[in-house]
């Protein structure tokens, strides 16, 4: 990793004084220069260092250290999304210490990071802060997944697009039974029931989301179960259609085959399954260390190869739609909403949360912008339908 | 495989006489019954056996023997496509001797069946019979690949659809340079040059096709090279767009990585590559034995897993469109054209060719009908474009 050794005395770098920059400082400055980023420079994507211990910390602990140093207020960037985009385009994260990520990767192989017991932990960490956060951020539809911006001007329009896109891709018709694995805040269940005449059952282990969804879907043929999706085995009937939005990211590659097998067992013959998930270009076994610690414990993003390895011989891929760049725009809209709503949220969440959330949203927006992340909607059948007409 | 042993005397099965059906006869009759097919029964998909040696031959030599026995006139079916569809739906091919296929599979692993020397053999076997055959069969556009039937009534309309679908998916604009790997009879080159203002270079080792294409594209900025595609390395410039239609089926899984690497090296930054290929649901290393011997020597159909394994880390899949069932309709249209044109072709090709071609077209139509085969149009980028809007 080329991490300079020796004691690194804080140097007051950037103050124009006489102190000679330390090894770590020089190294970070050189690396960032490769990405067109200056330290304390004039561009919106340039880095402002408030605490010079930053340099050493980021070299030693990579993404995790950079993120924690950001949360601690050691550094700042006006246009954090553009900073991340430049870092990614220059491939800088490969230069600095992915030590924690590497350790995670090692543990990811023998250990199943997504056991039955862990989902609750994810939910408690990520979804339980309170619906007020998501209400401020997600807009009218409370849809915590990629919006489809075709012909849309606003986030609300784009999220309405997504809901209808999913329903149209599934070919929902009155009387169909739809299973929603994950369920979110219930907007998809509501749309499928109200506008497509379906009966919907959603499984979601988040108490807050389930309560919100029940309220949202009142009076409609929607049943929200606050249970792990595997409890679906107790449902008396199979489903005509199954959908899973922003859920597969929590499943873990060791469980893809089991998950897809489970879904298949719940799907009627002639049915369709729509999987909406973020994906990555290269197969990995763990997620980013900072994300793992602060945002989605045990989360990992699938590659096409990992997903396809688990569909072969059991599912036919009827359609594979990639609209990753729409997630950049979605994340930026969430960020703007979050920032606008922050004065109301601040007393409850605190400034460290604000920095954490900013880091999460803007680094992800950048990931989609530079095409490190993809957004996939994959339509799968058992191979027992005559054909499928893909929808855009 | 459960093949009965012992001498199998032709039994005159089906004549209602006293002769007791032999072991092989009984076995085949039982297997076919699982698929709802009777021997000498009244349905259009029922089997008419003209030579009772058929039973033993098909058990001993599987698909290869069945096809050869058909070519020899030992058996017939009125609706051969529906016969194959029923056989496939019942999974019968797994019951009978895939011995020759198994041997091929063994040889497929250590041996590269698609060496530099072999393409010429494929072309001589398959494409050199004469353009009259293809002119009779393919319709006005001479497009030897799946037609896109959305909003089309006739094969010609559907093939025009395909040409425009490809051009629109590639986002062709005036002045762009398009490389066509394979080239066919030149209809795509012509369309891209004439209707989208592109400069086209096509590589095709078939003399007959190259001559036809040159004639078709006269006066347009189209250059047809009668050379192996790897000669593209001598082109002075990279291309804005690359397309390959019905070519990947000849490449062989050992060469996918090299092929895709080669295409990538010929593609400008910011470019797009559209791969149009038949695919299968399960990874294999060889094709069907009969197809290999009579139709496409060394051909093999990719699985998604095999293809994706060779794109990871190098390409981003911008779109994956599966319209396999359209190939069923296309093959049936080709079959009707072929049959209509046969009186003109007969003296040149002979009756055994007729039976071979019928077997080829109708077995393939059935393969798409029962979803054993898929038709994929995959749009790939180097990951250096802002995004891609998929087209249907």
CB-CB contact of B56 with B8 (8 Å): yes
CA-nearest residue to B85 within chain A is A386
What is the SS3 assignment for B51?
coil
* Ranges of each domain in chain A: 23-97, 118-381
More confident residue, A4 or B110: B110
User: Does the distance separating the beta carbons of A392 and B313 come in below 8 Å?
Assistant: no
A41 vs B100, more confident: A41
Q: How far is CA A40 from CA A43, A378, B21, in A?
A: 9, 44, 91
The answer, for A82 touching chain B at a CB cutoff of 8 Å, is: no
Compute the distance between CA of residue B304 and CA of residue A66 in angstroms, rounded to an integer. 38
* Residue to substitute from B89, B282, B306, B322, interface A, most A β-carbons within 10 A: B322
| A305 contacts on B by Cβ (under 8 Å) | 305, 308-309, 312
Q: Which two tokens stand for residue A263?
A: 């879904």
> Half-sphere exposure of residue B115, counting CA atoms within 13 Å on the CB side?
6
B58, two tokens: 């098909």
CB-CB contact of B109 with B285 (8 Å) = yes
Q: Is B392 part of the contact surface with chain A (CB cutoff 8 Å)? A: yes
Q: Which residue has the higher pLDDT, B180 or A286?
A: B180
Give how far B283 is from chain A: nearest CA, Å.
Answer: 8
**Which residue among B303, B374, B390 sits closest to A392, beta carbon to beta carbon?**
B390
pLDDT tens by residue, B229-250: 999 999 999 999 999 999 999 9
CB nearest to A322's CB, from B150, B281, B317: B317
pLDDT of amino acid A282: 92
The pLDDT assigned to A15 comes to 44
The chain B residue lying nearest A304, using CA atoms, is: B308
- Does any CB of chain A come closer than 8 Å to the CB of residue B168? no
**Cβ A257 vs Cβ A120: under 8 Å:** no
Q: Do A322 and B323 count as a contact with CB atoms less than 8 A apart?
A: no
Torsion B27-B32-B33-B39 (CA) sign: negative
User: What is the C-alpha separation between B294 and B282, in angstroms, rounded?
Assistant: 23
Name chain A contacts of B309, Cβ cutoff 8 Å.
Answer: 305
- State the pLDDT at residue B131: 87
pTM metric for this prediction? 0.91
Nearest to A383 among B283, B371, B386 (CB): B371
B325 to A282: CB separation less than 8 angstroms, yes or no: no
Is the Cβ of A371 closer than 8 Å to some Cβ of chain B?
Answer: yes
pLDDT at A128: 60
In the predicted model, what is the mean pLDDT of residues B62-66? Answer: 89
Burial class (CB in 10 A: 0-12, 13-18, 19+), A26: middle
Contact B316 A281 (CB under 8 A): yes
Helix axes B23-34, B53-71, angle to 10 degrees: 60
CB atoms within 10 A of CB A326: 22
In whole angstroms, how far apart are CA B340 and each of A5, A76, B329, B345? Answer: 81, 74, 17, 10
Nearest chain A residue to B319 by CA distance is A321
ipTM of the complex in this document? 0.90
Report which of residues B257 and A93 the model is more confident about: B257
The tokens of A83 are what? 């900073």
Across B370-378, average pLDDT: 97
CA distances from A89 to A65, A92, A366, B27 (A): 20, 8, 10, 63
More confident site: B116 or A220:
A220
What value does the mean pLDDT take over residues B54-74? Answer: 92
Which residue is closest to A391 within chain B, CA to CA?
B392
pLDDT given at position B320: 98
Provide the shortest C-alpha distance from residue B350 to chain A (in Å).
35
Among A3-12, A79-88, B92-101, B336-345, which stretch is predicted with the lowest mean pLDDT?
Answer: A3-12
| Of residues B283, B311, B326, nearest to A312 (C-beta) | B283
Q: Is the pLDDT score of B19 beyond 70? A: no
Q: What is the pLDDT of residue A130?
A: 76
- A interface test, pick of B308, B324, B325 with most A CB neighbours within 10 Å: B308
CA–CA distance, A71 with B25 (Å, rounded to integer): 77
Q: Give chain A as a 3 state SS string.
A: CCCCCCCCCCCCCCCCCCCCCCHHHHHHHHHHHHCCCCECCCCCCCEEECCCHHHHHHHHHHHHHHHHHHHCCCEECCCHHHHHHHHHHCCHHHCCCCHHHHHHHHHHCCCCCCCCCHHHHHHHHHCCCCHHHHHHHHCCCCCCCCCCCCCCCCHHHHHHHHHHHHHHHCCCCCCCEEEEECCCCCHHHHHHHHHHCCEEEEECCCHHHHHHHHHHCCCCCEEEECCCHHHHHHCCCCEEEEEEECCHHHCCHHHHHHHHHHHHHHEEEEEEEEEEEEEECCCCCCCCHHHHHHCCCCCCCCEHHHHHHCCCCCCEEEEEEECCHHHHHHHHHHHHHHHHHHHHHHHHHCHHHHHHHHHHHHHHHHHHHCCCEEEEEEEEECCCCCCCCCCC
Asked if B61 has any chain A CB less than 8 Å from its own CB, the reply is: no
C-beta neighbour count of A224 within 10 angstroms: 23
For B312, the closest of A303, A316, A389 (CB atoms) is: A303
**What would the pLDDT profile of A286-302 be if each residue is shown by its tens digit?**
778 899 899 988 889 99
Per-residue pLDDT band for B62 (boundaries 50, 70, 90) equals confident
Q: And the tokens for A390?
A: 């893909």
Min distance B380 CA to chain A CA atoms (Å): 11
Task: Find residues 290-329 of chain B whose CB sits inside 8 Å of chain A.
Answer: 303-305, 308-309, 311-313, 316-326
Q: What is the pLDDT of residue A239?
A: 98
DSSP classification of residue B93: G
**Partner-chain residue, chosen from A281, A312, A320, that has the shortest CB–CB distance to B320:** A320
Enumerate the H helices of B197-313 as residue ranges.
Answer: 207-216, 256-266, 289-294, 304-309
Q: Do A319 and B318 touch (CB under 8 A)?
A: no
Neighbours of B110 (CB within 10 A): 7
pLDDT value, residue B13: 47
d(C-alpha A285, C-alpha B53), whole Å: 56
What's the rounded Cα separation, in Å, for the pair B61 and B373? 23
Residues of chain A with Cβ-Cβ distance to B390 below 8 Å are 321-323, 392
Residues 6+ apart with CB under 8 A from B69: B51, B53, B54, B57, B58, B75
Which residue of chain A is at minimal alpha-carbon distance from B327? A387
Spatial separation of the C-alpha atoms in residues B126 and B113, rounded to whole Å: 16
- Name the minimum distance, in Å, from the CA of A392 to any CA of chain B: 7
Residues B387, A317: C-beta atoms closer than 8 Å:
no
CB contact under 8 A, B305 and A303: no
pLDDT at A7: 37
Give yes or no for B89 touching A (CB within 8 A).
no
Mutate to test the interface with A, among B168, B253, B280, B319 (most CBs of A within 10 A): B319
Contact with chain B for residue A152, Cβ under 8 A: no
As given in the structure block, the two tokens for residue B54 are 């058929």
Q: Inter-chain contact B371–A391, Cβ cutoff 8 Å?
A: no
| pLDDT score of A341 | 97
DSSP reduced 3-state for B39: strand
The reply to whether residue B392 touches residue A391, judged by beta carbons under 8 angstroms, is: yes
CA distance B281 to A383: 9
Report CB contact under 8 Å: B322, A321: no
The pLDDT value given to residue B332 = 98
Three-state DSSP state, B362: helix
Looking at the predicted structure, is the pLDDT value of residue B295 above 70? yes
pLDDT of residue A204: 96
B203, B229 in Cβ contact below 8 A? yes
Q: Enumerate residue ranges in chain A where pLDDT < 70.
A: 1-19, 94-129
Verify whether the Cβ–Cβ distance B303 to A312 is below 8 Å: yes
Model confidence band, residue B113 (pLDDT cutoffs 50, 70, 90): low
Cβ(A124)–Cβ(A118) under 8 Å?
no
- Helix residue spans in chain B (DSSP H): 23-34, 53-71, 80-89, 99-108, 118-126, 131-138, 155-169, 187-196, 207-216, 256-266, 289-294, 304-309, 325-349, 351-369
DSSP helix/strand/coil, B316: strand
- Determine the distance in angstroms separating the CA of B386 from the nearest CA of chain A, rounded to an integer: 7
Residues B329-340, mean pLDDT to the nearest whole number: 98
Is residue B214 over pLDDT 50?
A: yes
CB < 8 Å to A390, chain B: 321-323, 392
3-state SS assignment for residue B239: strand
Residue partners of B42: CB distance under 8 A and separation at least 6: none
Pick the CATH number of A118-381 from 3.40.50.2300, 3.40.50.150, 3.40.50.620, 3.40.1360.10: 3.40.50.150
């Amino acid at each position: 990793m080329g991490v300079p050794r020796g004691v690194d005395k804080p140097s007051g770098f950037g103050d124009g004084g006489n102190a000679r920059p330390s090894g770590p400082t020089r190294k970070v400055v050189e690396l960032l220069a490769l990405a067109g980023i200056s330290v304390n420079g004039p561009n919106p994507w340039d880095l402002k260092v408030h605490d010079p211990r930053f340099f050493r910390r980021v070299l030693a602990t990579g993404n995790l250290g950079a993120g924690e140093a950001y949360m601690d207020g050691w550094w700042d960037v006006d246009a954090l999304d553009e900073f991340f985009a430049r870092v990614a385009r220059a491939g800088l994260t490969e230069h600095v210490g992915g030590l924690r990520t590497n350790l995670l990767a090692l543990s990811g192989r023998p250990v199943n990071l997504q056991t039955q017991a862990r989902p609750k932990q994810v939910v408690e960490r990520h979804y339980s802060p309170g619906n007020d956060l998501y209400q401020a951020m997600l807009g009218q539809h409370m849809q915590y997944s990629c919006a489809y911006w075709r012909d849309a001007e606003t986030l609300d329009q784009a999220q309405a697009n997504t809901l209808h896109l999913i329903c149209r891709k599934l070919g929902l018709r009155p009387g169909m039974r739809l299973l929603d694995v994950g369920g979110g805040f219930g907007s998809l269940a509501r749309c499928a029931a109200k506008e497509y005449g379906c009966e919907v059952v959603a499984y979601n282990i988040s108490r807050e989301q389930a309560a919100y969804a029940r309220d949202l879907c009142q009076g409609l043929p929607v049943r929200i179960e606050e249970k792990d999706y595997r409890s679906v085995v107790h449902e008396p009937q199979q489903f005509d259609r199954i959908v899973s939005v922003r859920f597969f990211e929590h499943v873990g590659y060791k469980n893809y085959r089991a998950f897809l097998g489970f879904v298949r067992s719940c799907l009627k013959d002639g049915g369709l399954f729509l999987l909406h998930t973020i994906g990555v270009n290269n197969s990995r076994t763990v997620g980013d260390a900072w994300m793992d610690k602060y945002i989605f414990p045990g989360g990992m993003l699938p590659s096409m190869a990992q997903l396809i390895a688990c569909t072969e011989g059991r599912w036919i891929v009827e359609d594979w739609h990639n609209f990753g760049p729409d997630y950049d725009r979605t994340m930026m809209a969430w960020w703007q909403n979050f920032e606008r709503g922050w004065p109301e949220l601040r007393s409850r969440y605190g400034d460290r949360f604000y920095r954490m959330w900013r880091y999460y949203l803007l680094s992800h927006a950048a990931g989609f912008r530079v095409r490190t992340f993809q957004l996939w909607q994959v339509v799968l059948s058992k191979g027992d339908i005559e054909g499928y007409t893909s929808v855009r």
